[in-house]
Amino acid sequence: MKFCTHCGNAVILQIPPGDDRERFVCSSCELIHYSNPRVIVGCVPVYEGRVLLCKRAIEPRKNYWTLPAGFMENGETSVQGAARETWEEARAKVSNIDLYRVFDVPYISQIYMFYRCNLDGGEHAAGPESLETGLFDESSVPWESIAFPVVSKTLREFFSDAAAGHYPVRVSAIEHRPRG
């Protein structure tokens, strides 16, 4: 960041009074510009025991499969964002939305929140950010073509939980970039 979004003057990196870390501070109006983690929200939509996945039409990881998810928008709840992303990416409506999986990923300043839900009527279609959509049971998931490690982990946990008939909410952190 080079300029203040409030007054347009130059910003400097400094520790503001009463704070404990460097922030961008306007050299003129002294507005502090905070940089906070981005929240990614998405769904694990289920219909007749199968999970809805989307094949990405955009980078990163174009042509790979993922759960419908994306960045939360200002002014919406995480549940609203997860449902919106599912509609945008898979033209799917969902209900009975319950928090299922949270990943803190501090090395990229992101938080992922996945909600387990019902795929209403089993209906889905590719949205503008997807090449195609599909319903998959555990044996038909294209495991070698899953876009992101958090999606693979969430899917594996979901199928294990489904077999056990119990869906605990899990929260964990990914502290460093996976090798691979």
CATH of the domain at 167: 3.90.79.10
CATH of the domain at 28: 2.20.70.10
Residues 44 and 109 both lie in one domain = yes
d(CA 104, CA 66): 18
Residues 70 and 117 both lie in one domain = yes
d(CA 146, CA 104): 19
Residues 127 and 160 both lie in one domain = yes
**Structural domain of 105:** 38-173
Residues 7 and 92 both lie in one domain = no
Domain annotation covers residue 107: yes
Residues 50 and 139 both lie in one domain = yes
Question: What does the pLDDT read at residue 177?
Answer: 73
Residues 119 and 165 both lie in one domain = yes
d(CA 106, CA 175): 6
Residues 107 and 59 both lie in one domain = yes
Cβ-count burial of 134 within 10 angstroms (0-12 exposed, 13-18 middle, 19+ buried)?
Answer: middle
Domain annotation covers residue 178: no
Question: What does the pLDDT read at residue 49?
Answer: 97
Residues 27 and 63 both lie in one domain = no
Question: What does the pLDDT read at residue 175?
Answer: 86
Handedness of CA 26, 108, 84, 57 (dihedral sign): positive
Residues 43 and 132 both lie in one domain = yes
Structural domains in the chain (count): 2
Domain annotation covers residue 29: yes
- Please, what's the largest Cα pairwise distance for the chain? 60
Question: What does the pLDDT read at residue 160?
Answer: 98
Question: What does the pLDDT read at residue 130?
Answer: 98
Residues 31 and 52 both lie in one domain = no
Residues 149 and 76 both lie in one domain = yes
Three-class secondary structure of residue 140 per DSSP: helix
Residue pLDDT tens, the chain, 180 long: 899 999 999 999 999 988 999 999 999 999 999 888 899 999 999 999 999 999 999 999 999 999 999 999 999 999 999 999 999 999 999 999 999 999 999 999 999 999 999 999 999 999 999 999 999 999 999 999 999 999 999 999 999 999 999 999 999 999 887 665
Residues 67 and 153 both lie in one domain = yes
Full-model pTM: 0.87
